Amino acid sequence: MKISVDLTLSPLQNDYETHVINFIKRLRDSEFTVLENPLSTQIFGEYDTLMSFLTREIKCSFAEVDISVLQMKIVKTDRSEYEPNF
């Protein structure tokens, strides 16, 4: 099944930007479709492969900092082609 995942990573330390940028670069380097905006990053793909990938990348990101918050929303559909019709 296809899913869309919205991610917001917030490392709670002064050099947070470096950690956010590294996380986004690893998402970009994946096989998945990745879209970014100023508030969050979206990634799209098959549930099993995407969730397995995210589990590894989130763990890697958390290992780099003392405290970090990750907000994640998952939608059961591929919304990567969404365009407003209004």
Average pLDDT, the chain: 97
The pLDDT value recorded for residue 13 is 93
The pLDDT value recorded for residue 29 is 98
Is this structure's pTM higher than 0.75?
yes
Q: DSSP 3-state assignment of 13?
A: coil
Q: What is the mean pLDDT of residues 15-33?
A: 97
The pLDDT value recorded for residue 19 is 96
Q: What confidence category does residue 49 fall into, taking pLDDT thresholds of 50, 70 and 90?
A: very high
Which helix (H) or strand (E) element contains residue 83? Answer: none
* Nearest-angstrom CA–CA distance, 62 and 9: 10
